[in-house]
Structures are given as C-alpha cells and as structure tokens.
Amino acid sequence: MRAFNIADLRKRARARLPRMVFDYIDGGADDECTLRANTQRFRDYELTWDVLRNIAALSTATTVLGSATRLPFIICPTAASRLFDPRGGERAVARAAHAAGIIYSCSALATTSFEDIAAANPGPKWFQLYAWKDRGILREMLTRAKAAGFTAAILTVDVPVAGNRERDLYNDFTIPPRVTARTALQALARPGYLYRLWSTPALRPEIVHDAIPAIDGSLIEFLNSQLDHTMTWADIIWMIDSWAGEFAIKGLSTVADARRCADIGATGVWISNHGGRQLDTAPATIDRLEPIVQAVGDRVQVILDGGIRRGTDIIKALALGARAVGIGRAYLYGLAAAGEAGVARAIALLGEELRRDLALMGYSDIKSIRRDSVIAPPEARQKN
C-alpha cells in the first residue's frame, strides 16, 4: 500500500467513504479548536539527541496496566468500527492489533460482541465502560468482559452529554445512518461503500443490544438517554471493586481529578479530551501531561491520547512521563482506507517511525527516553 504516513491513510479514507462517514471520523466539536490543537501542540515541543551511541539493537516493548505490548501505543476504544469497514469492523482492528503485538481496546458502543472480538484477538485487550444509568448493564459488561478474557477496564468520564459535532448536523448524520436526501446523495457517491454496508448485517451496538432490546433512534440519542448525570466519584468505587483488576479512568485534564483517581484505587489515569469531540477550547492533552505525571505518576500509570500522528509524538509523550499513548483517528483512517490491511499499515507506520526516531536520538530502548529529551515550549513550562 502506497501510504507513507498517517496523512496518506487519511486521504485514502476520505476518497473511500461517504462524506458524512468520513466527517464523523475526522470532525470535532463546535469550532474544532481542540481538535486542531491536539495535533498542532505536539509540533511545538522539540526533541534533543545524543550522538555516538550503540543503537544496533532497538527495543520498543513495554508493559501497560499489566499487559505486555511490543509498542508503547494502544488501540483506543472507538464506537461503531463497522461503520468505517462494514465487513471487518472491530474484528479487523482486533486482528491487526494482535498481529502487531499491541493492546486492543473495545468500545462500549462496539458493533461487534465481546465474544467475537475475543475470538479474533486472543492477545491483550481492554474494554470501555460509560457511566450508564442502569447498573445492571455495567455489571453484565464487567462479567462478560472478564469471561471473554479482557484484562483491563476503562471508564470514560468526559461524556456527561455528547458534544456538539456540527459536521454531523450539516450532514444529517446518525448511527445507524438515516436516509435523507443529503445522506442518500453522499452514499450514492460511494457505491462500493454502500454495497459493503448493505451486504452485511445491520449496524447496532452489539455489547449493550441484548441488555436493552428496545434501543431506538441514533447511537448518540441512546448515549444521551443512558448516561447517568448523578454519578460521582463515590459511585465509581463499586466498579473498581467489582472488576478487581486493572482499571483506568479516561477523559481527565486536571491534577485534582488525577489525584482523585489514584485515591479511589484506579491503576491508570488516561488523559484525554475525547479527540476534541466534547468540550471545545479544552487544552491539548500534551499540555496537561507533565503536571499530572508529576502529581500522580508514582501512584498510577499515565496514558495519553489526542493528536498522535507521528513517532516523534509518541516519544514526546513518553519523555513527559506517559507510560503509553492511545491512537484513535490514526488507525480509523487505516480501517476506512483498506480494512484490516489499513489498520496494520497504520500500526506499522507508527512503529517504523518510532524505531527510526529512537535511533536518530541515540536511544536503543524506549526506557532510555529522558525528560531532557524534549524541550517544552515556554508557555507550557509556565503552565506546569
């Protein structure tokens, strides 16, 4: 595949998907300030290097929340993967992650069941929870995930309500897609995609479908109807106790919240702004990393997502204290561009860049990355 960076996969995805589906991957909330900042702010951090070092043997392996991985990046949980690759979806992503030896994370709104994902990926895998109103759904998810071999739970907490994603409004876009004049024209412009979508089972949130048989309307409507607006920190403790394993809380931006995570027994703090799809003008995640690591890095493992497009982005996050980073759009562009092969290409590109960049910096191992490997921009240093 002639794709030499994640941007190339994005172009291929755009050419293959109807506009409404591509915009669902590509877009953010409101004016998309945070969406752009997540990527742009990585460019403001600079890297230094050491010379005349032995780099004959490079290692990128690590362990994150008890799961071994060949590369220090994780497949983030993203909803409805079959929307972007109707025939493969979550299975395609799970297989590609397993083949690469990295951690796969399953969305609570996956269009494939826990059991089918586990059959496709016998390796390390995590799963996501939302703060549902129905505790029975949460208990069932914890039980089924454990039985299927998932080893870590991720509670996403930055979605008390769904963000204002205006591209979806302009496109009349919902999950599953509703037929309007606008969506029909966009779909007809991509007949290959339309055939793949119509020739496979209907899209639905498989993990929660049986628990709530009367799901009606769009996925966003369902999400908003099920989110518990009364849930607080005290309500999370029973989930951590019930799971009795590695438990990360995802969607944090402040030191105070990171400390609360550690205090209630979470083993992972996941810095995220939901890819710029929730609160717009929120700070880029890279700018929040160092103060959180300084506050809780000796108590919990810190993960970051948002804006990862290059191997240098990964190195910068590791230098500032992240145990690993999560990738979302990077692999979704690959999935949309070429299914499982596209996901594999996205993983391979980031892995190749990471290894090359480590060599250029004079490091033989990601454990050699130091805080002084990266120079933060002046304004970030002042915030810290």
DSSP structure string for 350-383: HHHHHHHHHHHHT-SBGGG--GGGEE--HHHHHH
DSSP string, 23-87: HHHH--STT-HHHHHHHHHHHHSEE----S---SS-B--EEETTEEESSSEEE---S-GGGTSTT
Flag whether 272 is in a domain. Answer: yes
Kindly state the tokens that stand for 310: 């290059």
What CATH number is associated with residue 138? 3.20.20.70
Choice among 98, 209, 229, 274 that is catalytic: 274
Question: What residues does 170 pair with on adjacent strands?
Answer: none
What Rg, from alpha-carbon coordinates, does the chain have? 20
The answer to whether residue 1 sits within a structural domain is no
Per-residue pLDDT of the chain (384 residues; tens, 9 = 90+): 799 999 999 999 999 999 999 999 999 999 999 999 999 999 999 999 999 999 999 999 999 999 999 999 999 999 999 999 999 999 999 999 999 999 999 999 999 999 999 999 999 999 999 988 888 889 999 999 999 999 999 999 999 988 999 999 999 988 778 888 888 899 888 999 989 988 999 888 888 876 555 555 566 777 777 788 888 999 899 999 999 999 999 999 999 999 999 999 999 999 999 999 999 999 999 999 999 999 999 999 999 999 999 999 999 999 999 999 999 999 999 999 999 999 999 999 999 999 999 999 999 999 999 999 999 998 675 566
User: How many folded domains does the chain comprise?
Assistant: 1
Active site residue 229: no
Which two three-digit tokens encode residue 38?
């997540």
- Domain around 295: 6-383
CA separation for the pair 314, 312 (Å, rounded): 5
Residue 111 · residue 82 · CB < 8 Å: yes
